[in-house]
Structure 1
Amino acid sequence: MYLNQIIRTLGTLCTAALLLAAPPLWAHAQQEGSYPEHASSIEGSPEKIAVWFDHAMRLTLFEVTGPDGRVELNNRPGRDMLTRFETTPVAPLAPGEYTVRWRGLAEDGHAMFDEFYFTVR
């Protein structure tokens, strides 16, 4: 009986240690927000296009497409880990629907990607 208590206690301690160590493994970077906001409709061309994350990420792609195809941007992501990326279109955006696609590597090495949409009126 004494040995069973020791085994149960050790099992509980091991489980607790694993649970305490596991959250960093579960924490993949997720998009927290964007500008313009996802599915929003804005009046006129946006002054910036941005995305931000809850954990640092190295963006490998940030692409904006619209009614006339790919939008030329003033800057592209580099090799730095970041929690926010912001750029501006080279020319004002014409009215229409736009898609922003991003892809990156989270600090834990997982490849992440997503997209958001907005409409310029």
Structure 2
Amino acid sequence: MKTILLAVMIGIWATGAMAHSPLDATTPANDATVTEMPTEVLMDFKGDIRLTRVSITHADTHTVDMDLGDQTAFTQEFVLPIQDMGAGTYVVEWRGLGDDGHALNGTFSFIVE
């Protein structure tokens, strides 16, 4: 009986974990070093998500909220314009809502030489 209960609990947990829409890829890629400042950031998720906030921090000094524009629908891919703040490390922090109703968040970074 304990084995069946454990199997059911693991199955429910695994199904819930797969329902989320984690960040699949970014351009620039996470931890990438680029020689030119990109004009935009591409975020590609494994499932549909609606971004609610995206901010970018440059070299631990300036934090700017990125313009989400009209990208308010549930989708897998977002292209956001980015401001050039010079060479250094950029950290992008995002928050969103998965189409399954779960709040999601994460970060990725890249370096501009």
- Give the alignment of 1:19-38 within 5 angstroms: 25-27=16-18, 28-38=20-30
Deviation (angstroms), 1:65: 1.2
- Could you tell me how far apart the structure 2 residues matched to 1:95 and 1:79 are? 30
Count residues with an aligned counterpart. 102
- Could you tell me how far apart the structure 1 residues matched to 2:65 and 2:100 are? 31
Q: After the TM superposition, which parts of structure 1 deviate over 6 Å for at least 4 consecutive aligned residues?
A: none
1:103 and 1:113 in contact (8 A); partners too: yes
- TM-score, normalised on structure 1? 0.71
Choose 1 or 2 for highest CA Rg.
1
Amino acid at match of 1:96: G
Structure 2 unmatched ranges of 5 or more: none
1:99 and 1:117 in contact (8 A); partners too: yes
1:56-115 CA distance string (max 9 Å, x none): 001111111103502464x316431110111122x4330010000001111111111110
Amino acid at match of 1:93: M
- Give the alignment of 1:1-121 within 5 angstroms: 25-27=16-18, 28-67=20-59, 68-71=61-64, 73=66, 75-76=67-68, 78-89=71-82, 91-121=83-113
- TM-score, normalised on structure 2? 0.76
1:45 and 1:94 in contact (8 A); partners too: yes
SS at structure 2 position matched to 1:100: strand
- Structure number with the higher strand fraction is 2
